[in-house]
Amino acid sequence: MIMTMVQAINRALAQEMERDDRIIVLGEDVGRDGGVFRATEGLFDRFGPERVIDTPLAESGIIGASIGMTALGLRPVPEIQFLGFIYPAFNQIVSHVARLRNRTRGRFTVPLTIRTPYGAGVKALEHHSESTEALFCQIPGLTVVVPSSPYDAKGLLTASLRCDDPVIFLEPAKLYRAEKQEVPEEVYEVPLRKAAVVREGKDLTIIAWGTMIPVARQAAEAAEGEGVGAEIIDLRTLSPMDRETFVASVRKTGRALIVHEAPKTCGLGAEIAATIGESALLSLNAPVLRVTGQDITVPLPKSEDLYYPGPARVLRAIRKLMEY
């Protein structure tokens, strides 16, 4: 069936809820309203108010309550309406979700999936455009997942819902309805902790995820016209990171470009660049480059294009790498 990413997410939730009555969806407006992006549309009618719970407006309460549900064997799927509103729940996530398995030596685990839209490009107001994935990648115990296509969204979310570790599932809001794609009706998993080579090329490696995958593709196609073959790695799981796939690619191409929406300093690009330095230094024909969001607060929509990477900025970096 041809569908958008938000529809694919909805299908994954519905099919897993059908299969497993331990799955509970909770959050603000997820019930009757079907979520502000309609990701949970229809679930309330199908599974009832006991499994699709409209909660009070309280992010720490939502995540805290989800943790408690896992103590009694449930697998909650809390939704935080926008990543920019997750901070009141940060204490629950960092101090409990991430570490309960370790601090109880495996006696208590927290198999929950926190779904939240992230990123700029939806002409939203302040605090609705954040891309702060690196904050979560610094926390041991969390699995951070970002899909870039409807097919991956369904498969990665299904895998997340079945994962015994807590997952932060970041949904690129800009891509919710940006493209339609054939998505199988049957249930399938796209494995966590596994990056994908989404475009092959011999001259350089672009490492990106989420909203930056379409941007990288456009830049790669433009570069193709200039005789440059760009390989694109979609990281998909940001933490724990599949280092092997991009290291192998860089060993082949000899050039690496990291593209992310988040600010440059201490962004995930720094970790990726360091890994390439550790593991593929002698394969490099040029320094590792990054095209990222600026180290400033995400601007309001009128100036968004100055902030976050578009195909032209990526193409400029590709040329720089090739001319080095």
Choices 197-205, 239-247, 281-289, 312-320 (CB under 8 A): range interacting with another protein: 239-247
The contacts of residue 312 (CB under 8 Å, 6+ apart) are: 219
* Least distance in angstroms from the C-beta of 84 to another protein: 18
DSSP 252: H
Looking at beta carbons only, is 68 or 184 nearer to another protein? 68
* Least distance in angstroms from the C-beta of 21 to another protein: 9
The contacts of residue 184 (CB under 8 Å, 6+ apart) are: 1, 151, 154
Please select the residue that binds another protein; options are 32, 108, 138, 287, rule is CB under 8 A.
108
Element (H, E) at 238: strand 237-239
Active site residues: 128
* Least distance in angstroms from the C-beta of 145 to another protein: 14
Question: Using the rule CB under 8 A, is 138 a contact of another protein?
Answer: no
Distance CA 253, CA 256 (A): 8
Looking at beta carbons only, is 66 or 149 nearer to another protein? 66
Q: In the range 158-177, which residues lie near another protein by CB under 8 A?
A: 163-165
Please select the residue that binds another protein; options are 71, 125, 266, 306, rule is CB under 8 A.
71
Distance CA 131, CA 10 (A): 22
Q: Considering Cα of 253, then 238, then 189, then 217, what sign does the dihedral take?
A: negative
Question: Using the rule CB under 8 A, is 140 a contact of another protein?
Answer: yes
Q: In the range 176-235, which residues lie near another protein by CB under 8 A?
A: 193
Question: Using the rule CB under 8 A, is 103 a contact of another protein?
Answer: yes
Q: Considering Cα of 291, then 294, then 298, then 303, what sign does the dihedral take?
A: negative
- Collapse the DSSP code of 29 into the 3-class scheme (helix H, G, I; strand E, B; otherwise coil) and give the result: coil
* Least distance in angstroms from the C-beta of 41 to another protein: 22
For the chain, the distance separating the N- and C-terminal CA atoms, rounded to the nearest angstrom, is 45
Looking at beta carbons only, is 83 or 93 nearer to another protein? 93
Distance CA 231, CA 234 (A): 10
Looking at beta carbons only, is 103 or 123 nearer to another protein? 103
Choices 9-17, 128-136, 216-224, 237-245 (CB under 8 A): range interacting with another protein: 237-245
- Helices 212-224/311-323 angle, 10° precision: 50
Q: In the range 50-69, which residues lie near another protein by CB under 8 A?
A: 50-51, 53, 55-56, 58, 60-61, 63-69
Distance CA 211, CA 181 (A): 16
* Least distance in angstroms from the C-beta of 248 to another protein: 13
∠ CA(247), CA(113), CA(139), 5° rounding?
55
Q: Count interface residues toward another protein (CB under 8 A).
A: 48
How many residues are given for the chain? 324
Q: In the range 242-271, which residues lie near another protein by CB under 8 A?
A: 243-244
The contacts of residue 56 (CB under 8 Å, 6+ apart) are: none
Question: Using the rule CB under 8 A, is 74 a contact of another protein?
Answer: yes
Please select the residue that binds another protein; options are 11, 101, 128, 217, rule is CB under 8 A.
101
Question: Using the rule CB under 8 A, is 100 a contact of another protein?
Answer: yes
Tokens of 7: 């529809």
DSSP strand pairing (230-234 vs 289-293): unpaired
Contacting positions for another protein (CB under 8 A): 24, 50-51, 53, 55-56, 58, 60-61, 63-74, 76, 88, 91-92, 95-96, 100-109, 140-141, 143, 163-165, 193, 240-241, 243-244
